[in-house]
Chain A
Amino acid sequence: MKKGKRLSLLLGAIPFITLVFALPLVNRIQPTVFGLPFLLFWILLWVLLTPLFLFLAYRVEKHFDPPDEGEGP
């Protein structure tokens, strides 16, 4: 697998870790952030950060695998 693809898959795994596998650890109300219970704040935070990770994945693929950007493995 090309380096860019490998890095972009790692970046893409982050939202899965935070929005699925971390949920048992954040299932609580305190501390509240901006008035939101911690659980809801956590989910919202990572939903809003997902575009950032996908954008980085996009740049990384472009940077490391330039000629055939995004081709299959």
Chain B
Amino acid sequence: MSVALVVILAVILMSACVGIYAGRNLKMNLENWTVGGRRFGIILIWLLMAGEIYTTFTFLGASGWAYSKGATAFYILAYGALAYTLSFFILPVIWRIGKRYGLHTQPDFFIKIYDSRGLGVLVALIGVFSIIPYLQLQLAGLGFIVEVSSDGAISSNVAILIAFVLTCAFVYTSGIKGAAWVAIIKDVLMVAAVVIVGFGVPTIYYGGIGKMMDELITKMPEHLVFPGATTNMDVLWVMSTILVTAMGFYMWPHVFGSAFSAKSDTVLKRNAIIMPFYQIPILLIFFVGFTALLVIPGLANGDLAFLELVKKTYPPWFLGFVGAAGAVTAMVPAAILVLFGATLVAKNIYQSGFRPQASDESVMRLSRIMVIVIMTVSLIFALKFPNELVPLLILGYDGVSQFFPGVVFGLFWKKVTKTGVIAGILTGVAVVAALILSGNDPFLGINAGFVGLVLNAAVTVAVSLATHKGTSPDMES
């Protein structure tokens, strides 16, 4: 057995044990399972939210984009800071409503604010359809990382199966707290790997980051300004993409729902203040992608840039360490995604849609069963179509972004109506789907999700004004 293999297996097994251990003294009801009893202080909230933003896409995608697309990748560095800025203003208000009415999920919030179970079911359905490709991407990315970094000793499919079992186990037993605890391991490993490689490879090949950048500026300056190496992703695309991803980030059902785990609104504000510092590793990941472009140009698949460069530069045990970090980086978001996906189905599709009288115990039981079901569906996709769901993921991201007007108007505009929000969401999702599936993304140089969002907001406002009868949604104060 190779060293890399031992390192990877040891780390993911240890992570699962920590996740299972996290829930040892918790009585598992919906409150503890989905929102951790609303007891998370700033450290656990930070870990949870960092766990959600740093996924395998960050690891492989940010270096891959820097490698193959160039400056366009910078949007990844920028949008996070703006997502946190928005969260500073909206999450504390959402949290207070959640606390007052005992909400667990994003559809719960829509049901409460707009007094409409139908809207809740609609939001839950869009949420679940967006979560599945995201989850599939995590599993496929994990398989890919482990296969490359164990040098083929563990095949992609075996790695995905192992991660599937372990992740199901700790989500099933410990819920959101398990995910937050495993995020500790993930963060330490991921930051260590990124810092070592990010400072390491430019220094080893060029004697420092500055010298590596000099070389790149001399050799291919056009790579470092928009549109980089792309033809259709110019500055307008970057601007619209930053806006739509910043607004969409906290609209992911699992990210939105995590806000309810905080023990106070102040925790969420303070967390928003410190989160932008967590973007620094992304800069280092760019440097790895740029170094790879100079040292190993011409890779057919840019997503391989990070791992191929590590493989060429470092001994096998270190490659195993990077693989382990990558694997846990996929397991944490996968756990949170599946947990909220399962809760959406059990609580907001089954209970809100069909069985309002269902007891909390039966919803909890169904949620646990749905963990296995949703993971299995994503597993099948990941094994059968490892590379074919990327358009669906983009559609998912642009789809959940369409919740933004409904959330913000619901919090701050008295005249918004449920009919307005339903019409807006349906318009936004329809526009986004039509543009993406017909190959028109970007549309006139603008991110399709942004086009959908603008039309969505316009329709929401127009229909709300037309249907408003002087009754307000349930405002906070």
Q: Which residues of A contact B (CB under 8 A)?
A: 8-9, 12, 15-16, 19-21, 23-24, 27-29, 32, 34-37, 39-40, 43-44, 46-48, 50-51, 53-55, 57-58, 69-73
Contacting A37 at CB < 8 Å: which of B88, B225, B242?
A: B225
User: Does B51 make an interface contact (CB < 8 A)?
Assistant: no
Q: A28-B225, A37-B224, A58-B270 are in contact. Are A73 and B412 (CB under 8 A)?
A: yes
Determine whether B308 belongs to the interface, using a CB cutoff of 8 Å to chain A. no
Cα–Cα distance between A19 and B84 once the two chains are bound (Å)? 13
The one of B78, B80, B275, B476 that contacts A71, using a Cβ cutoff of 8 Å = B476
> Within 8 Å of chain A (Cβ to Cβ): is B74?
yes
Question: Are A58 and B269 in contact, with the CB atoms below 8 A?
Answer: yes
Could you write out 25 A-B pairs with CB less than 8 Å apart? A9-B89, A20-B78, A23-B235, A24-B235, A27-B225, A32-B217, A37-B217, A37-B221, A39-B224, A39-B226, A40-B224, A40-B286, A43-B77, A47-B81, A47-B276, A47-B279, A50-B276, A54-B84, A55-B273, A57-B88, A58-B88, A70-B93, A70-B265, A72-B411, A73-B412
Residues of B within 8 A of A20 (CB): 78, 82, 239, 242-243
Cα distance A71–B265 in the bound complex, in angstroms: 10
Contact of A35 among B78, B214, B270, B286 (CB under 8 A): B214
**B209 contacts A by Cβ under 8 Å:** yes
User: Which chain A positions have C-beta within 8 A of B369?
Assistant: none
* For the complex of A and B, 6 pairs with smallest distance between CB atoms: A35-B210, A50-B81, A50-B276, A54-B273, A37-B224, A47-B81
Assembled-state Cα–Cα distance A34/B214 (Å) = 10
Q: How many A-B residue pairs have CB under 8 A?
A: 111
Chain B: interface secondary structure? helix
Binding site for A on B (CB under 8 A): 71, 74, 77-78, 80-82, 84-85, 88-89, 92-93, 209-211, 213-214, 217, 221, 224-226, 235, 238-239, 242-243, 265-266, 269-270, 272-277, 279-280, 283, 286, 411-412, 475-477
CB distance from A32 to the nearest CB of B (A): 7
| B221 / chain A contacts, CB cutoff of 8 Å | 29, 37
For residue A44, which residues in chain B have a CB less than 8 angstroms away from its CB?
Answer: 77, 283
Q: Establish whether residues B269 and A70, one from each chain, have CB atoms under 8 Å apart when the complex forms.
A: yes
Among residues of A, the one whose C-beta sits closest to the C-beta of B243 is A20
Q: How far is the CB of A57 from chain B (nearest CB, A)?
A: 7
Contact across chains for A70 and B92 when beta carbons are under 8 A apart: yes
User: A19 contacts B78, CB within 8 Å?
Assistant: yes
